[in-house]
Amino acid sequence: MAQKALTVIVVLSSFSLGFGLGACAQEPSGQAASTQAPLTLTFQDTLARARKNSVQFQSALTDQGLAHQDTVQARAALLPSVNYNTTYFYTQGGTGTVTPRFIANNAVHEYLSQGDVHLVVGYSQFADHSRAGALEAVARAKAEIASRGLVVTVIQNFYGLIAAQRKYSTMQEAAAEARRFLQLSQKLENGGEVAHSDVIKAQLQEQDRRRDLREAELAMEKSRLDLAVLIFPDFNENFAVVDDSQLAPPLMSFEEFTRAAETKNPDLRAANASLQAAGYDLSSARGGYFPTLTLDYFYGIDATRFATYTDGIHNLGYSATATLSIPIWNWGATHAKVVQADLRRKQVQRELSLTQRKLLAEMRSLYHEAQAARDELELLKSSAELAAESLRLTTLRYQGGEATVLEVVDAQNSLTTARTNYADGEVRYHTALGNLQTLTGTM
């Protein structure tokens, strides 16, 4: 998700609908101010820190690294290996002779020191290499799934904190407005213009707003702690976030979204790669029916002394062997492996079909959710502006004796609700865009 550089920080910004100073500027009660300047984080900064600190995401990267090493090992199995072996054989000799008693041995003292180039050529080895490559693709896709899921989590926590700060600022404005109205009602009562019941209603409203302010403060601190746990390896609350919630990217057309989802969806890639891996696993199992060729080339000594020359004889030499192993009978073990692999392949094929159907359903559902969130956001903004104007006019009418105290209280509550709903609407829209990006890969 592209983020624009901003110079306005939420702790110092003034919300365009009259929210006042950001909530972070107010230090919660009981919390000591930090001696260091707070760390200012944009959304991209927050996401980068979350990727370093997320255990689930790092676990997915670890699985990807392990799968890559499996591919390296499978490729190495297709290539010749080189080993060096040194062996000493002692055999009991015949009485008074140097002839060994065992006919299978060459001498009483035999030294074997040879290098061996070893190669096994079989159908299963090639299938195993292809299977390892497909499983690496699965792990890579799952790592991308974990990354995109982390993006949605960061979006919810990052913009949730911004919304909580705005709600706290809203409650500050509401509490201040309730205090002003209480003072106004008391002044009018002293002038004999309103009844004492109006003052009582204003007092109840002011007390309610103070309680709401405290709850908003607690919610803001909880959101801050949730984000801090997500992005810092140690406990750190000394940070501020950049308020870019009003700069969300526009919603792409459904046709563009569909094309991107069909080609870049990591769940679909993982399912396709899993099906390929299952197919190679079946081929590897069938390889047990085919012959295996083993090649060995030896160079070194095989002599009665550990030396290159013995009694004028040159001991260094080479030999080569080629072994063709043809499977005949193993009590149905190979057939059982083939049946197992085929069952797994059919199950993976069913899972791929399910993934495709779920993708089509999610594409429509998430796009409609994002579309609704975008459309409603404009209405919520308009409602907040209208509620602010309604409160101003109702207060003026009350001062002129044309409105009741209940109308003023209702206008105050409507303004608070409208501003709170607008803050929640922005979080909903950003979250909806993040969910779309889990399908399209347009981060």
Q: Region 285-296: what's the mean pLDDT?
A: 92
The pLDDT tens digits of the residues spanning 198-227 come to 899 989 999 999 999 999 999 999 999 999
Q: Does residue 6 register a pLDDT over 50?
A: no
Q: Does residue 4 register a pLDDT over 60?
A: no
Partners of 93 in the beta sheet?
100
Give the pLDDT band of residue 435 (cuts 50, 70, 90): confident
User: Of the given ranges (7-11, 99-103, 117-121, 166-170), which has the lowest mean pLDDT?
Assistant: 7-11
Give the pLDDT band of residue 13 (cuts 50, 70, 90): very low
341 belongs to a structural domain: no
Q: What is the DSSP string of 378-394?
A: HHHHHHHHHHHHHHHHH
275 belongs to a structural domain: yes
The share of the chain scoring above pLDDT 70, in percent, equals 91
Number of compact structural domains in the chain? 1
206 belongs to a structural domain: yes
200 belongs to a structural domain: yes
The pLDDT tens digits of the residues spanning 316-336 come to 999 999 999 999 998 999 999
Q: Does residue 39 register a pLDDT over 90?
A: no
Opening angle at CA 204, ends 201 and 208, nearest 5: 140
8 belongs to a structural domain: no
Q: Are 147 and 52 in contact, with CB atoms under 8 Å apart?
A: no
Q: What is the pLDDT of residue 383?
A: 93
* Residue whose tokens read 């094929």: 349
Q: Region 153-158: what's the mean pLDDT?
A: 90
291 belongs to a structural domain: no
Beta-strand runs (E) in 286-422: 292-303, 309-310, 313-314, 317-325
Instruction: Kindly report the length of the chain.
Output: 443
Partners of 313 in the beta sheet?
310
Q: What is the pLDDT of residue 81?
A: 93
Over the Cα atoms of the chain, what is R_g?
A: 38
**pLDDT: which is higher, 49 or 28:** 49
Q: Are 70 and 77 in contact, with CB atoms under 8 Å apart?
A: no
Q: Does residue 54 register a pLDDT over 90?
A: no
Taking residue 267's Cβ as centre, other Cβ atoms within 10 Å add up to: 20
Domain containing residue 42:
14-27+38-78+127-283+360-440
The pLDDT tens digits of the residues spanning 340-389 come to 999 999 999 999 999 888 888 888 888 888 889 888 888 999 999 999 99
374 belongs to a structural domain: yes
Cα–Cα distance list, 336 to 35, 192, 277, 278, 330 (Å): 69, 97, 19, 15, 11
Q: What is the pLDDT of residue 56?
A: 87
57 belongs to a structural domain: yes
Look up the CATH number of the domain holding residue 231: 1.20.1600.10
Q: What is the pLDDT of residue 192?
A: 84
CB-hemisphere CA count at 13 Å for 345?
17
Q: Are 221 and 28 in contact, with CB atoms under 8 Å apart?
A: yes
